[in-house]
A and B are shown apart, each in its own frame.
Chain A
Amino acid sequence: MDPVSPSLTPAMGMAGVILIIAYILIFSEVIHRTLAGIIGAVAMILVGLVGDFYTQEAAIAAIDANTMFLLMGMMILVSLLRPTGGFEYLAIRMAKLSRGSPTRLLIYLSTVVTLISLFLDNVTTVLVFAPLTVVIARMLGTTPVPYLMAEALLSDTGGVATLVGDPPNVMIGSAAQIDFNQFLFHMGPIIFVAWFITLILLLFLFREDLAKPFSGVLDLDEAKALKDPKALRRISFAIGVVILLFFVHHRFELFPGYVAWIGVALALALTRPNPEETLKALDWSVLAFFAALFIIVGGVQSSGLLDLLGTQLASIAQDPDQILLTALAFLWISALLSAALDNIPFTVTMIPIIAHLETQGVDVMPLWWALAMGVGLGGNGTHIGSTANVVCVAEAERTGVPAYRITPWIWLKKGTPVMLATLMVASLLLVLFFPYYQGG
């Protein structure tokens, strides 16, 4: 390994400037983040070639194929599942099971969304459930706000528990070589507690809305919502195989990305959809954004800048007595930044820094867990902290009813306390059980 330069070099400067400009464009939303990412990636390669610190081969190698294939595979499975009406069926069933109780409706809908978010991308899950929630709430003559916010907050929280629950976890797991079970056994307990705290808090914060009985009738036939029961059964079977394989993928030395595509191959063989329609439904913009970010950060890493930053951090983190404090600092800084900014670029940037710390003899396992929890739980802090939040706010806005708008102030009153509570719980549990979260 090349020794780390003790000071800033021209290559680091050039790479750093490209990174900063790209991130400003991404966070400011002057242009779409994917466009900003692509332009930034191309600029980084160009600057790298000119500055002789980043090659085209290195740029391609910087793209984490496991992450990309895992995300793509799960997206395909969801795109196959959506037209079957399975999500609509579930939403209506949960609404009917609540039997006229606003509290039960909130718990059931949020629990279903969380369970799905453990294995399928929580943004897609919320994208599907949010409009259904609005219809159900309006039919029942109640405000959809508590249910929408609960779905966003609880799916964000729950998604932190598994390797595949949200994109940052996928990237962290891939970089840190953490398998599915390891992730679940370490994150699961903390997130389980955090999830319950979130639920209880939400039931308390929305107690006035939830105390009002429904004034309408839920006249929905879930059987009619099912467009293709046969396809639903087959695709559910394929997803079931994927989930089972996630639990044992490390035993067979299978990448999680490959496991997802086993499910895709099975689902395609069983349902034989039109491949053009299936692939058209993928969120290519998100995939391109991820690839672009990997290239941009790869360039910064190639320049040595991230290693320089990591070396500075190592002087603090190397002290075994300081590692817990370092982990807590990671947790809270990640969370606060994720509340305000897109957590994906932050995660992609932190990964090589933490990886470099490991080469400096630092026990980085606590930092990986802290990063995963921070970027996952921090997204609950503001109405723009996570894409799921943005989706729910937009859906509430679309009702056209002023009383149903989820304003930043409403999120500050209801969502931010949830984020702070879950971070405090996570911090406390991390402190209490720290040896379990250490490496070696």
Chain B
Amino acid sequence: MKLAHLAIPTGVMRRSNTLRDFFMETARCNVPGLPYVDEQGRLIGRISIREVYKQIAVPDHLLRLADALGDQTDNLDLPEIQVAEMLALPVEDYRLDHMPTVSPRSSIVKALALMEVHNSSYVFLLDGEAYQGVVTRMVIAKRMIECVMEQEREPPASDRQP
């Protein structure tokens, strides 16, 4: 199974964008990350929603006691910064340099392997230098279900007209 036509088309993030722009686009497209481009439009990184949350809301020191946390954690809620202020921060500060990519001719297995190795739930689909969109595990799952349903709809070979 190839990845062509599986990508979710999204916008890209640039230096001028803020976290608000990032959150709006990821929520609109229902993807966990977006590519980051330079002034010439070349992909040079990505913004990951997981990494943003790690930096602004879920510091490492909290993880050790995550299982033990009760519900009264108001003081641990987003640090001393209001949400509106947080969303006004530039996305550039959260840019990750590494971005796993695949091409339309790549297989689903390759995409899944890259996600696993890079601990990511998505990869970017590039056709040459042109950004096509985001491929996520859910998109792959939907495609697999569609395949199965198509096969179930097709009549068995013995019933087909010669």
Contacts and interface: CB of A to CB of B under 8 A. Distances in A.
A220 B68 contact: yes
Given A139-B76, A216-B74, A401-B79, A134 B68 contact: no
Contact of A222 (B60, B62, B68, B76): B68
Given A131-B61, A216-B75, A221 B80 contact: no
Contact of A220 (B59, B65, B79): B65
Contacts of B74: 216
A88 interface: yes
A140 B75 contact: yes
A233 interface: no
**Which range contains the number of B residues in contact with the other chain?**
10 to 19
Nearest to B77: A138
A227 B65 CA distance: 11
A132 B76 CA distance: 13
A92 B75 contact: no
A88 B65 CA distance: 7
Contacts of A68: none
Contacts of B61: 130-132, 134-135, 395, 398-399
Contacts of A132: 61, 64-65
Contacts of B117: none
B71 to A, nearest CB: 7
B75 A224 contact: no
A220 B70 contact: yes
Contact of B71 (A219, A224, A400, A401): A219
A58 interface: no
Contacts of A135: 61-62, 64-65, 76
A65 interface: no
B35 to A, nearest CB: 27
Interface in B42-83: 59-62, 64-65, 67-76, 79-80
B75 A141 contact: yes
B89 to A, nearest CB: 12
A339 B71 CA distance: 43
B93 to A, nearest CB: 12
Contacts of A92: 65, 68
A395 B61 CA distance: 8
Contact of B70 (A130, A141, A219, A401): A219
Closest CB pairs A-B (n = 4) = A219-B70, A131-B61, A219-B72, A225-B68
